[in-house]
Amino acid sequence: MIKTVTRSGGWMALLCVLLMALPAKADYSQHPEAAAFIEEMVRDHQFDQAQITEWLRAANRQQAILDLISRPAEKTKSWKEYRPIFIQPLRISNGLAFWQEHAEVLARAEKTYGVPPELILAIIGVETNYGRNTGSHRVLDALTTLAFDYPPRAPFFRKELQQFFLLTREQRQDPLALKGSYAGAMGYGQFMPSSYRAYAVDFDGDGLIDIWNNTTDAIGSVANYFARHGWQAGKPVVSRTRFEGDEATIEFNSLQPPSSPLRDWEKRGFNAILPLEATLPVSAVKLEGQHGTEYWLTTHNFYVISRYNRSHLYSMAVYQLSQAIKDQWELNQ
């Protein structure tokens, strides 16, 4: 009898510990800042107050999302660690297969927006491995958790939550059903709700803009995103460079638009390996690669890639994946 009671007490104690470790179900409709959000949605966008309240009540707080957003790979990994995640044979071969399957749509996107197929493919490849991994988090959970429980960027995510409700109304989608990334990005190209509403396009003309399941809309939307951010058709993106100057005098890895012409960088010790125009504005990037320090000169088009994700590691991975896919495509022609 004593052993039985002790065992039962032990299980009860363990159960209490486990229950305490689980996050409490947050009723976001009762959050101190929810009332103002609900009022804004009703006043400015004519939503039904009871409906918005119900959606917020249905959202689940996700601690895993808060953990993930605090340590993104772009900020925790070096280039030699980051590059192999994306520049790998399977992702390249998947990109080639996607190109072969959607060659006509990709060609039309390039003609319409001036954005090369390999760049569109690289974005979709980096973001979701060509639609194989579009995210497992409920978008409502992700955006609500970050909008109300992530103070560093709460205003940004509150606006995205607002945009999400507007988007689902426009596209006749159930906000409780859609899934995406831990940050609330959706579809093949992982658009945030505001980007979806601003840049996604109905590229197949069926009357709906669907980048969740429609590859034609997804391809056109990525191309439109880059065109709207100033992609310069036919212009270079990067050049590997030799550097023999003083690093202390150089601002590396800036994500501002390049403003200094190549000839000025040459005076500071840079020597581009690819031929570039002396007047071409460029910026300098320094990466710690597998075989040591790498120096690159990057152009306006590299800056445009960074508008998709504000990271020089991300932008370089997209560019290098695009070139690897393009090389395979040309070998198969």
Question: What positions carry a catalytic annotation?
Answer: 127
Could you tell me if 226 and 119 are in contact, meaning their C-beta atoms sit under 8 angstroms apart?
Answer: yes
Assign 3-state DSSP to the chain and report helix, strand, coil percentages, each to 5.
Answer: 55, 10, 35
Could you tell me if 303 and 257 are in contact, meaning their C-beta atoms sit under 8 angstroms apart?
Answer: yes
Tokens 């000025």 belong to which residue? 264
For 54-92, give the secondary structure using H, E and C. HHHHHCCCCHHHHHHHCCCHHHHCCHHHHHHHHCCHHHH
d(CA 333, CA 2): 79
Q: What letter would DSSP give residue 312?
A: H
Could you tell me if 87 and 321 are in contact, meaning their C-beta atoms sit under 8 angstroms apart?
Answer: yes
Neighbours of 251 (CB within 10 A): 8
Cite the beta strand spans of 183-301 per DSSP E.
238-243, 260-261, 270-272, 281-289, 292-298
Both tokens assigned to 140? 């409502």
Quote the Cα angle for 100-105-109, to 5°: 125
Closest to 269 in 3D by CA, of 241, 288, 294, 238: 241
Could you tell me if 281 and 260 are in contact, meaning their C-beta atoms sit under 8 angstroms apart?
Answer: yes
Neighbours of 107 (CB within 10 A): 12
3-state secondary structure of 259: coil
